[in-house]
Amino acid sequence: MKKLLYGIVCIAFLGFLTSCGGGNDETEQDNTTTEEQAGDEQQQTANAGDGDALFQQNCSSCHGGDLKSGGAPDLDKIGSKYSKDEIEGIILNGKGGMPGGILSGEDADAVASWLAEKK
């Protein structure tokens, strides 16, 4: 009985695999390229000015999603201690245990602007 059940499961699994496969490889490649391009465009849009989203993607693992629940220093009132330019300098060059270069260019500027508002 177990062999019969095992045989049925194997046949069903093979049928499932064959029904999902095949198709035109060229079309699948075109779809993948289009999806990758769309992802790149969304990433560039997010990078251009959304400091909160960039912080969540790149900084929250150490500083916490709420700016104060991570193992790194709290940032919930960082704007009262440092100016936007000073914050950007820390993002670019690092300070203490924080490595530099996690963000650069417009990304660093967007996050620095966003954090400078936290007072």
| Within-domain flag for 114 | yes
CA distance 51 to 87: 13
Domain with residue 69: its CATH number is: 1.10.760.10
Q: Are 79 and 118 in contact (CB under 8 A)?
A: yes
pLDDT per residue over 43-82, tens digit each?
A: 544 444 599 999 999 999 999 999 998 899 999 999 999 9
Count the domains in the chain: 1
Distances (CA, A) of 33 to 21, 23, 30, 37, 90: 19, 17, 5, 6, 36
| Within-domain flag for 80 | yes
The one-character DSSP state at 80 is: G
CA distance 48 to 29: 29
| Within-domain flag for 5 | no
| Within-domain flag for 97 | yes
The predicted model scores a pTM of 0.59
| Within-domain flag for 104 | yes
| Within-domain flag for 112 | yes
